[in-house]
Structure 1
Amino acid sequence: MNVMNIVKAQTVTDNTIQEVQLSKSDTFNDIRTRLINNFDFTNTDYKQGLVNSVVKFDISRKGKIVNVHSSGDCKSVSREIETVLSELDYKVDRNKLSDNLVAYTYVMPVTVEIDNR
């Protein structure tokens, strides 16, 4: 599974949405790793090959990942992404997020490779 390093966030100065490049040391790398480690690749309803999705989620004031919505090439993969991120027993340390990531909603492209069975 490959998860891209781009997130969209709201800036403080002009209240516009723009892309923010994340480094591998950011909190979002931990979220990507947890998504990969908890993804169930055995579901036979998944579309074979590369499946592209976009996942949107909020980080609550307490650091919980909430309001997860995913859409993409395969509804079953999108549902699995939503399930994994919604059920993570994980809290984001909001103090580790950079000051320009003030929005509570994040957009993360996700590419999953499903091998032929």
Structure 2
Amino acid sequence: MKNTIRLIGILGIMITTGLTYHIQAQETNLIKEVKITANDGFTELRNLVAQNFNFTNPNLTEGMMNSEVKFEVTDNGKIANVSVKGDCKYVNQEIQEVMSHLLYQFHDSSKMNKVYILPISVAIASR
């Protein structure tokens, strides 16, 4: 009887330890999302998006449009898996098009987080 209780106790400790280790391993392997702010070193990327944005789309309406771009940085430093949400679907589509086709590469991407969120505001003036 004592051996059975001792065996159950040892198994309980092993299961608890295994679950704790598994949970800790999962927490350290999570991909973090980083929200990009004004003075963060992404100025060049913002400028490229602005330079390549097509303001001639007739569906764009006048005003300030806010969008959030979520993208991944691959192991070789390229932008991938771009998704955009925001005020205007046409602005979102254009930002997605620009970001998806940029010939841009981050240097030393091994030290970077993998997922970023970049807020972008686009001012559309009357034509």
TM-score tier after normalising by the smaller chain length: 0.7 to 0.9
Measure, in 2, the Cα distance between the counterparts of 1:83 and 1:111. Answer: 16
Q: TM-score normalized by structure 1? A: 0.73
Match of 1:111 in 2: 121
Q: Which amino acid aligns with 1:113?
A: A
- Residue in 2 that maps onto 1:81: 95
Aligned to 2:67, which of 53, 58, 62? 53
CA deviation after TM superposition for structure 1 residue 91, in Å: 0.9
Query: Structure 1: which 5+ runs fail to align?
Result: 1-11
More strand by share: 1
Alignment coverage as a number of residue pairs: 99
Q: Which has the higher helix share?
A: 2
Q: Distance in 1 between matches of 2:35 and 2:96?
A: 22
What CA RMSD, in Å, does the superposition of the two structures yield over aligned residues? 2.5
Q: Which residue matches 2:4?
A: none
| Identity level (%) | 35
CA apart distance, 1:46: 1.1
Structure 1: 4+ residue segments shifted above 2 A: 15-24
Whole-Å Cα distance in 2 between the matches of residues 30 and 54 of structure 1?
17
Give me the TM-score of the superposition, normalised by structure 2: 0.67
